[in-house]
């Protein structure tokens, strides 16, 4: 019980719900419609749409919903987190994708899961976000809140980039690499894992640095505490890029800086399992990866 208390927040019964579908996934819209009908029978107001629909986004931003149900895969959950995190709206994921590292409920279990949520039988798991700032000289070119990671990388050229990396103003190293990943614990099971980084439990608030294909430079992941600030200065005579949570990258120039620190917001995921779910799901998904690979 002590572990649950440390990880969980109070579980209010939702009264206003947004149901978000992803139209490229077969059956997503029909499932969203079925959920809306179930919510209506329970006397709960629901707005339906996609994550780019102005009406749905406005309902979240204006505090008109207290729960968002996301139908899709991990990409949908990331986009839902970007929208809901800054406004304190919890997200319940229904898996219509593949791995679903971030998602709580499989497609065939949605009705039972919804009943539990409407009864208040769930807990909220907080996931830290990162604040990423892109600087050219003293001018801020962009700022983002990310849930998985930001990646400073080479562009279309196969040539390495040099990435001068500082931690809290102290020089760490200059990576000569394909890329440098700065990730949250949530992102430790994404690109950072594929690059050989460690897996961090989701309740931690550490920042993870993982180089990709480093050449004659530090080749180990570094785990930092929540209060750290990472500054990456690009040294290159060709293209470099910055990408957040797999979104379309922006082009960087020689001398540009990327500053990363813990964000001000937390994404709240609805959980129905006990807090030990993470390791059970991790084992199951890793076994599925091995099976898929063997079958291929």
Distance, CA of 64 to CA of 68 (rounded, Å): 11
Q: How far is CA 37 from the centre of its chain?
A: 29
74 is catalytic: yes
- CA 52/CA 60 separation, integer angstroms: 12
Q: Which of 146, 214, 143, 141 is nearest to 180 (CA)?
A: 214
Cα(172)–Cα(166) distance, rounded to whole angstroms? 5
User: Of 74, 178, 245, 281, which one is the catalytic site residue?
Assistant: 74
Calpha distance 73→88 (Å, rounded)? 21
Strands in 103-177 per DSSP E: 105-106, 123-136, 139-146, 149-154, 161-167, 170-177
Please tell me the distance from the alpha carbon of residue 54 to that of residue 12, in angstroms, as a whole number: 26
Which residues belong to the active site? 74
């Amino acid at each position: 019980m002590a572990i649950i208390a440390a990880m969980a927040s109070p579980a209010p019964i939702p009264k206003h719900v947004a149901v978000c579908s992803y139209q490229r996934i077969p059956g997503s819209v029909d499932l969203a419609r079925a959920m809306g009908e179930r919510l209506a029978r329970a006397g709960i107001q629901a707005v339906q749409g996609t994550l780019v629909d102005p009406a749905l986004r406005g309902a979240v931003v204006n505090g008109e919903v207290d729960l968002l149900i996301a139908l899709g895969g991990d990409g949908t959950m990331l986009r839902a987190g970007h929208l809901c995190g800054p406004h304190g709206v919890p997200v319940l994921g229904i898996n219509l994708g593949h791995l679903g590292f971030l998602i709580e409920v499989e497609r065939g279990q949605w009705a039972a899961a919804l009943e539990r949520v409407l009864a208040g039988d769930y807990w909220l798991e907080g996931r830290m976000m990162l604040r990423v700032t892109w600087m050219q000289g003293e001018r801020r070119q962009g700022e983002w809140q990310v849930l998985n990671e930001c990646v400073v990388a080479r562009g279309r050229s196969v040539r390495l980039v040099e990435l001068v990396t500082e931690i809290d103003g102290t020089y760490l190293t200059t990576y000569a690499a394909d890329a440098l990943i700065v990730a949250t614990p949530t992102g430790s099971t994404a690109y950072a894992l594929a690059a050989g980084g460690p897996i961090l439990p989701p309740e931690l608030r550490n920042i993870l640095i993982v180089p990709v294909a480093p050449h004659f430079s530090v080749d180990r992941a570094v785990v930092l505490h929540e209060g750290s600030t990472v500054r990456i200065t690009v040294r290159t005579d060709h293209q470099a890029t910055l990408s957040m949570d797999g979104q379309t990258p922006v082009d960087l120039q020689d001398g540009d800086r990327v500053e990363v620190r813990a964000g001000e917001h937390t994404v709240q995921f609805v959980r129905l399992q006990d807090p030990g779910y993470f390791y059970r799901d991790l084992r199951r998904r890793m076994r599925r990866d091995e099976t898929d690979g063997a079958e291929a």
